[in-house]
Structure 1
Amino acid sequence: MEINVSSNIKDVTTDNFMSDVIESSKEKPIIVDFWAPWCEPCKQLGPLLEDAVKEQKDKITLAKIDIDQNQEIAAQLRIQSIPTVYTFFEGKVVDGFQGSKTNSEILDFVKKSANLSGPGEEVENLISMAKLSIEERNWNDANEISQKILTLDPENHIGFASLIKSMIGLNQFSDVREIVDALSAEIKESKPVVEALKSLEPSEKAFKAQENIQDLEKQLQNDPNNLENLQEMAVALYGKGDIATSFDLLLKSIEKDKEWNDQAARKQLIEFFSSAGFDAIETINARRKLASLLFS
């Protein structure tokens, strides 16, 4: 019998199948490679599987079962041809394939299986830290933590979303676009990344608008009820980082005329809610005031 020295690759028999596959899969995914010494495709597939699994370290285990020596398992699982590869997770088969695969297909299969158990504890802790830094608008810390997440888990959707949010907070708009262009379609279209990108355009618009703050202040001194100037000042203040005052100005505009310019102030406020985050204290307070204005 072949002896596997890697800590996450092992030979499994009928005697330890329940403990090393079924029970162990309740803690993390187990890929099972059903093979035989006479099977030429198995000889090609096996090393590729092993190399792919070694890259995943503690996230997954490869169990190799020689069906000639363990015919009972093969019969119970109705293995009719080899190579056959199954992924067990939480005690049952959740994925698999038969026959030969290209190296890239094997890498994708192993990566997909490894991701079933979600991020490790270290990554989960870093995600919590990144979320807190973003809520506090500590963009430098959020950026550094996000990069650590992606070092540990290079395809972590939340890690990319946090990185994008931090870069937007640091006004690195062109760099964000470069990163997004380089992302795979799967990551780019993931919910966390899509949500993070919603703040790109409004934040960039607000950042550019802050250059006109002094002129807008003078205009508002001369005409404090000019709704267009109020909205422009709100956008400029948002770009400066004075979110609470920005929201107050938009609410003031809505209070004066809800329907002005096709409800432009309300639409801008909703856009900024999404950009600032619906959990932000400024958003929570402004949403409460907006509801009072709209339904009073």
Structure 2
Amino acid sequence: MTLDTTQPHVFDATAANFDADVLRKSLETPVLVDFWAEWCGPCKQLGPVLEKLAGEYNGAFVLAKVDVDKEQELGAAFQVRSIPTVFLVKGGQLVDGFPGVLPEGQLREFLKHHGIEPGAAAEPVAAEAETAPVDPHAEVMRLRSEVAAAADNDNLKLDLALALLKTGAAHEAEQLLDALPANLAHDDRAISARSRLGFAALLDNAPPVEVLEAAIAGNPDDLRARHLLGVQRIVAGDAQQGLEQFLEMLRRDRSYEDGLPRKSLIDAFRIIEDEDLVGAYRRKMSSLLF
């Protein structure tokens, strides 16, 4: 089976590009991972249908093709027992999948179940020009004025919620986020804001940094203390030290509290604006998981 290289939403996934092109890509766009082989008859039935849907859905998801004969490491990491096998990766996590061949109608239902509709891909976000740092309090005042003048503009309300979070006004920001319509509630910016709120909420009644550090020094396997210390560091702006705590949790017990180490890393990736730092720790996370 020859991959149609003219399709912009279909690509060959390998161990070398899996982190960037599947895991990192899935934070923005769902990725359907198709495990197949040249000698597999059912794969030749399913593959063209998946490629057709990838083109028709026009970026609402991308299709990653994994040749299990060439990429045995990936097949083992996903515990693929038979082919074809398809997995859906969203937000850096494997969320669903199925073995064997499904009819096109059932494939569409599978995608719809996960909120993937034809043409539903988000528009690419243009890179922001470098500008002087904006005073967050001044930005809140500016956006309040704009929201007052355009009360029906929900995008402005989302912008205001994000600005409020930077000033520490978490309660008002949460109220604005809760009132957003469904289409904006799943916006990448809203998801990032929810992650920030979640981190801030974890610190309610949390022990001071010194107490957490002492607990870890006394017991390096105190993953609860490591988690709270990681959150403390990230909220305080020390992103690297926060990520280090989460990564150490993953090293010691990846299944702790239903996968909390990995979930914490992914939430942190949504918050941290340093793309190079996020990329470095995403690769470290992948090396531990796959």
TM-score (norm 1): 0.44
| Structure 1 or 2: more helix by fraction | 1
TM-score, normalised with respect to structure 2: 0.45
Q: Of the two, which has the highest radius of gyration?
A: 1
